[in-house]
Amino acid sequence: NTSPHSDPAEVSQLQAALAYQSEMLAGYQEQLMQLKSANDSLTQYIRSLPAPHSTPPDAYDQDTKKCAVMMSLLTGRALDWASAVWESDSGMRSSFDHFLAQLHEVFEYPEGGQDISDQLLDLKQGDRTAADFAIEFRTLAAQSKWNEVALKAVFKRGLNSKLQAELACKTVDSSLNELITIAIKIDNLMRNTPRTRRFVSANLVPSQSQPDTPKPMQIASTHISSEERDRRQRENRCYYCGEENHRNATCPHKTKKNPTLRYSVSTIELPNPKQRSFLLECELSVDTAIQCVSALVDSGSAVNVINQELTDKLKIRTSPCVPTINITTIDNGTIGSGITATTQPITLHIGLFHKETITFHVVPSCKYQVILGHPWLAVHDPSISWNRGELTKWSTYCLNNCLTKTRTYPCLSTSVESPENQVQTPLPKVYSEFAEVFSKSKATQLPPHRPWDCAIELLPNMSPPKSKVYPLSRPETLAMETYIEEALASGYIRPSTSPAAAGFFFVEKKDGGLRPCIDYRGLNNVTVKYRYPLPLVPSALEQLREARIYSKLDLRSAYNLIRIREGDEWKTAFLTTRGHYEYLVMPYGLANSPSVFQSFINEIFRDLLNKCVIAYIDDILIYSPDLNQHIKDVKTVLARLQQHQLYAKLEKCEFHISKTTFLGYIVSHHGVEMDKSKTQAVTEWPLPKTVKELQRFLGFANSYHRFIRNYSSIAAPLTSLLRNKPTKLRWNPAAVRAFEGLKASFTTAPILKHPDPQLPFVVEVDASDCGIGAVLSQRHGSPGKLHPCAFFSRKLTAAERNYDVGNKELLSMKAALEEWRHWLEGSTHPFQIITDHKNLEYIKGAKRMNPRQARWSLFFTRFNFSVTFRPGSKNLKADALSRRHDIDQGEQTVVPILPPSVVVAQISWDLMEEIQRAQQDEPTPPECPPNRQYVPQALRLRTLQWIHTSLGSGHPGIHRTTTL
């Protein structure tokens, strides 16, 4: 529809532009047919259109043309409206922005007549999970312009009443994100709380139809009926207490000679059934039993009361109440025989977080199983909405004494981190400006993309395999749902349509919780490995020689602080029984995760590494020579963490200490020693029964080999058990002695001094028939006592065992210099090598050397050292490195002189194979002559016949036959 006043040339140019865009516009016709008048539909539709002023450059050079293109995309009522606007020749034809504004004004109105504010105010959680409610709330909140205070109030208002009551226990000054995270966690905990208990909760309020006789005492009773009065008169019972053989005037319960306490524990029951008493859902914990009860909150009760029947059921221990407490009614009358017993302290849970220890007074018969009276209200001083019948807030006393610990249930922990320490480490005031670095809520937010995002490069022509869905038990299913909801709420994962799918399962943690694991073995097999090196821990610890004060930081959710490279998220997809998801952050289990994170950390602290910082993945050690410098170093590190949005666990950090544990070692200014907890684990290690168990033990022990003076020789019999990849261990006495000796060595390991390049080194070397060893030492103090800095030892190879004594000693010297080359080459002072082989004193001046010695001599010229002879009886430290156990000859490798290609055929006898098989049942006896083949009894006749009839032997005669 064009105006008759339109320029024909302009119309022709417009038609050409429309033809150019015909294919692109065709794709929007289907969307156009589905266009609604709702806000979302119109907004999404306009956003999906291409920018008419951007492509092609010269197609939309005027607003009139843009409006014409937009009109061509409209149908129905929208087209009718646009045509009318065009025909009216209004100003909208010449302003595309005005045209869009009018389109929004006419067709954009909220669905159901509600705008964003109304939808936010009407949003309710209902039966949904808090995670689902939070997603819808965040969507609407993002479209509103409300401030955070208003959004927090609306969010709490939309939660269901039970969750609001639990949130009252956690009323702290938190951000909106923290509030949503806490609500989701509490909601998950409430939904996953085990419902089964040892005892089934009984009916707390008896029905109205109950027998009149015998009638139990009710706290609310203030008079007796006319029928009851007539019955007591006929049976000669007291009108007051109902007992026999006395009258009301002489009732011993009304007048006592002994002093008694008169406490009111009565309540008034209103006839209107709509008037409800205020009840709290509670749990009583007695030993291993848990009883669910509804406790009446009654400010008119002077004591806290429990029913005698419940006390007997739970077998609660009681003690006499002295003096007896009378039960009085509102009119000051006395009921029954009073309270004569009190319970021992009982654990009382209210909700998920409130926990206390309380003592009750036992009442013989009570309408309610538990009554929380004025003493309880006075102590806890809760805020109660009597109109809604809800407890809205706990007091400051409860926040400090009753709400400090969250209740835990087995198999509900799904954290990938280790359990947090109970003792919170205080943050020194000097670092208060960096409190954000220790924020737990910020650590759970989705991190930004960085240049160090985790890339997942696949091998050529390979794709991630699809794994199976692992079946989960009921507790694991609950834990999985909790983990998925929390990860979705934090943005760590999202629903996936990826063709890849790794398995999802749990492993049990030490604290009884469950650690989620993704089976990325298939993905790792087809991933290009990132070979970024991890720090060498022993070399890193050598940098601590001048340190006197330390601080240690442990990063929170380290791997989750790195994003997956954009476009690679689909490769991390995993399957659960709930659905298909993929990670936006770097998960645990990827082959390149340690290298990627280490490269990120090294780039952040590049100028500080080996100067005042050692960083091993998520463990950071800061060291300094004095306190003033240390504070500056720690501030620099915290500032870097804050700048790059990395966060630490305050409960696992240490500040300003002179001795600490780092990566399994105890470091101080005295030196490095093994962690006592590790050595205790080794000393309690049982004798391995399988090959895997022995490999696990040797792997752990090998990490501390630099502390053990004779490690390689001690472990030689154990490593011999693993030769030729056995399927079963065959222990021998030497191996058992080696196992016990190695465990004992962990308890006697010395403290290794930090090497000081300003002091001269001493290297003690020695060799034996099975191994070589060396000790690196320095003299400290006065008169200069030698202290070990490191130990080195290893077994000799089969070829090295053939060396003569001189070459073995020379080999031990060469191996020691190679091991500590970074300290000895170019050292400030000439170092001394001590050996028990006298000929090595002349190695530098030897005129005749074999080729091997000549090669090694070139290597020795790089060092400035002198060789000193010490007899073996005095060279005990190095000598012990190779003489702890007997020589392990091992299996000799047979090398044929002629290659197999020149052999025509290998000669073998079938009879010889039968003899060898028969010897398994009848082995060679000890009296058999040496160098003779023993033939079992069953094959002797056949053997003689074979030899006698053989064409190659014939009959040698009687004497030779007898000799055979």
Angle between helices 130-143 and 474-490 (to 10 degrees): 10
On whether residue 416 sits in a domain, the answer given is no
Q: What is the dihedral of CA 870, 874, 875, 876, to 10 degrees?
A: 180
Confidence of residue 678 (pLDDT cuts 50, 70, 90): low
* pLDDT score, position 208: 37
Question: What percentage of the chain has pLDDT greater than the value 70?
Answer: 70
Domain edge (last residue) among 639, 654, 669:
669
One domain for residues 94 and 143: no
Q: Is 771 exposed, middle or buried (0-12, 13-18, 19+ CB in 10 A)?
A: buried
Residue 638 has pLDDT above 90, yes or no: yes
Residue 40 has pLDDT above 50, yes or no: no
Cβ neighbors of 107 (< 8 A, separation 6 or more) are: 37, 42, 78, 81
d(CA 703, CA 722) in angstroms, rounded, equals 18
Q: Is 150 exposed, middle or buried (0-12, 13-18, 19+ CB in 10 A)?
A: middle
* pLDDT score, position 47: 46
One domain for residues 481 and 543: yes
Residue 110 has pLDDT above 80, yes or no: no
Residues 553-566, mean pLDDT to the nearest whole number: 88
One domain for residues 714 and 795: no
Q: Report the candidate in 213, 241, 224, 210 with the shortest Cα–Cα distance to residue 327.
A: 241
* pLDDT score, position 629: 92
Q: Read off the CATH number of the domain in which 626 is found.
A: 3.10.10.10
One domain for residues 643 and 544: yes
Residues 294-304, mean pLDDT to the nearest whole number: 84
Residues 261-272, mean pLDDT to the nearest whole number: 47
One domain for residues 777 and 841: yes
Q: Which amino acid is at 184?
A: I
Confidence of residue 489 (pLDDT cuts 50, 70, 90): confident
d(CA 310, CA 313) in angstroms, rounded, equals 5
- Higher-confidence residue: 182 or 600? 600
Q: Read off the CATH number of the domain in which 374 is found.
A: 2.40.70.10
Residue 765 has pLDDT above 60, yes or no: yes
* pLDDT score, position 935: 86
Q: Report the candidate in 589, 587, 594, 617 with the shortest Cα–Cα distance to residue 605.
A: 617
One domain for residues 433 and 576: yes
* pLDDT score, position 1: 47
Residues 229-234, mean pLDDT to the nearest whole number: 76
Instruction: Count Cβ atoms below 10 Å from residue 683 Cβ, excluding itself.
Output: 11
Domain edge (last residue) among 747, 770, 803:
747
On whether residue 898 sits in a domain, the answer given is no
Q: Which residue has the tokens 């645990």?
A: 588
Residues 287-298, mean pLDDT to the nearest whole number: 79
**8 Å CB contact between 232 and 238:** yes
Q: Residue 150, SS3? A: helix
Residues 669-697, mean pLDDT to the nearest whole number: 76
833 phi/psi in degrees, rounded to 5: -110, 125
Question: What percentage of the chain has pLDDT greater than the value 90?
Answer: 7
On whether residue 699 sits in a domain, the answer given is yes
One domain for residues 909 and 855: no
* pLDDT score, position 903: 44
Vertex 84: Cα angle to 78 and 90 (nearest 5) = 115
d(CA 324, CA 308) in angstroms, rounded, equals 16
Residue 56 has pLDDT above 50, yes or no: no
* pLDDT score, position 109: 53
Find the range with the poorest average confidence among 341-355, 441-455, 848-862, 875-889: 875-889
Q: Which residue has the tokens 């995002």?
A: 453
Instruction: Count Cβ atoms below 10 Å from residue 316 Cβ, excluding itself.
Output: 20
22 phi/psi in degrees, rounded to 5: -60, -45
On whether residue 305 sits in a domain, the answer given is yes
Supply the Cα-derived Rg of the chain in whole angstroms.
43
Residues 662-669, mean pLDDT to the nearest whole number: 79
Bridge-based pairing state of the strands 318-328 and 261-264: parallel
Q: What is the DSSP letter of 109?
A: B
Domain total in the chain: 7
* pLDDT score, position 67: 79
Residue 190 has pLDDT above 70, yes or no: yes
Domain edge (last residue) among 363, 381, 401:
401
Cis peptide bond N-terminal to 216, omega within 30: no
Confidence of residue 118 (pLDDT cuts 50, 70, 90): confident
898 phi/psi in degrees, rounded to 5: -95, 140
Q: Which amino acid is at 704?
A: Y
Find the range with the poorest average confidence among 31-35, 443-447, 461-465, 628-632: 31-35
One domain for residues 354 and 284: yes
Structure tokens at 170: 């956690």
On whether residue 221 sits in a domain, the answer given is no
Q: Which amino acid is at 713?
A: S
* pLDDT score, position 201: 35
One domain for residues 578 and 478: yes
Q: What is the dihedral of CA 125, 127, 128, 134, to 10 degrees?
A: 20
Q: Which amino acid is at 922?
A: E
Residue 272 has pLDDT above 50, yes or no: no
561 phi/psi in degrees, rounded to 5: -85, 0
On whether residue 263 sits in a domain, the answer given is no
d(CA 420, CA 413) in angstroms, rounded, equals 12
Strands of 716-799, DSSP E: 761-767, 771-780, 785-795
* pLDDT score, position 202: 35
pTM for the whole thing? 0.44
Confidence of residue 107 (pLDDT cuts 50, 70, 90): low
Bridge-based pairing state of the strands 383-385 and 370-372: unpaired
Residue 427 has pLDDT above 50, yes or no: yes
Residues 457-475, mean pLDDT to the nearest whole number: 84
d(CA 634, CA 964) in angstroms, rounded, equals 87
One domain for residues 474 and 622: yes
Structure tokens at 513: 């919780």
- Higher-confidence residue: 752 or 867? 867
Q: Read off the CATH number of the domain in which 789 is found.
A: 3.30.420.10
d(CA 761, CA 758) in angstroms, rounded, equals 9
One domain for residues 570 and 677: no
**8 Å CB contact between 344 and 319:** yes
Q: Mean pLDDT score of the chain, rounded to an integer?
A: 74
Residue 22 has pLDDT above 70, yes or no: no
* pLDDT score, position 511: 54
For the chain, the straight-line distance linking the first and the last C-alpha, in angstroms and rounded, comes to 122
On whether residue 324 sits in a domain, the answer given is yes
* pLDDT score, position 219: 39
Residue 72 belongs to what domain range? 8-113
d(CA 875, CA 327) in angstroms, rounded, equals 90
Confidence of residue 585 (pLDDT cuts 50, 70, 90): very high
Q: Which amino acid is at 210?
A: Q
Residue 891 has pLDDT above 50, yes or no: no
One domain for residues 579 and 708: no
Structure tokens at 343: 């319970």
On whether residue 155 sits in a domain, the answer given is yes
Q: Read off the CATH number of the domain in which 722 is found.
A: 3.30.70.270
